Amino acid sequence: MSRLVFAGSAPFAVPALQALTTAGHQVELVVTQPDRPANRLQMTAPAVKLAAQELRLQVFQPDRLRAQEAVSRLAALKPDLLVVAAYGQIVPASVLSIPTCCPLNVHASLLPRWRGAAPIAYAIREGDRETGVTIMAMDAELDHGPVLTRQETAIRPREDAVELTSRLARLGAELLVDTIARLSEIQPAVQDHARATYAGKLSRSDGELDWSLAAEALDRHVRAYRPWPGVTLPFAGDRVKVLSGRPLTGRGQPGAVLRSEREGVEVACGEGSYLLKEVQLSGRKPMPARLLVVKRA
């Protein structure tokens, strides 16, 4: 079994960490992002930190992984492997060179498609029918290194980013353990860099949409941008956050309310229509969309 350092932060990385310990690997150190302020009175710990504490593993939270003290601490451990999954920082060459074997990355796409920070959101938003997980040997460039193993899976018709992230996290954890067990026999495959596509970090403005989009495209955005940044749309002079809905085939002037009933509020889009089911106004709790029309009546 391997002695390793694990670097991860987001919930996607938790199953991988748990699977490594279950498989008997010796996790010498868990590197994760610093705690962040949730509000003025409370700090929030990364999901990986909480998981590591439950597993009674040592946690290290440097502000910058490239800082000399961080590099020195990792180098002193002399790990066989460095495993990275949804860590949230670029891993510098000074850290990649530390493990005696190779640095491994668990990436939530079928590389070279969707390199970058938000591969799951981009796959749903762009209407991909298939995605998966890639285990790659890291180099100094973003998601650029040779592929060791990969596992494909279909994206389900109504699947959102939360559901797909959970599925891919479990798939990636299984694939990671299997890959490490077979490292000596795996022949790395160089990526076709000419076919690379990029999934940049999402910002709040990405979710600010309008009704001129086709209903199918709008639906993909809603599912892709859960939970962050979420989709907001103009409604009766305000903006409403869309928590759930589905595309329909109604017609009308984009933004016009076609009907309102118990199931939700149907609004015309650039092509087709969209049924708002659950929404949230700024500073309010989530509510059924039909209440929007009542409040505006």
Dist. CA 63–CA 251, nearest whole Å: 52
The reply to whether 111 sits in an annotated binding site is yes
39: left (phi over 0), alpha (psi -120 to 50) or beta: beta
Longest alpha-carbon distance in the chain: 68
**Phi–psi pair at 154, nearest 5 degrees:** -75, 145
Q: Is the distance from CB of 268 to CB of 254 less than 8 angstroms? A: yes
DSSP state of 67: S
The count of other CB atoms within 10 Å of the CB of residue 263 is 14
Q: Could you give the residue ranges of the DSSP H alpha helices within the chain?
A: 14-22, 47-54, 68-77, 93-96, 119-125, 161-181, 215-224, 290-296
Report how far residue 246's alpha carbon sits from residue 234's, in angstroms, rounded to the nearest whole number.
17
Residue 109 annotated as part of some ligand binding site: yes
Q: H or E element: which one contains 169?
A: helix 161-181
Q: 207-246 as b/e, with b when 16 or more CB fall inside 10 Å? A: bebebebebebbbbbbbbbbeebbbbbebeeeebbbbbbb
**Binding-site entries:** 109-112
**Binding-site entries for (6S)-5,6,7,8-tetrahydrofolate:** 109-112
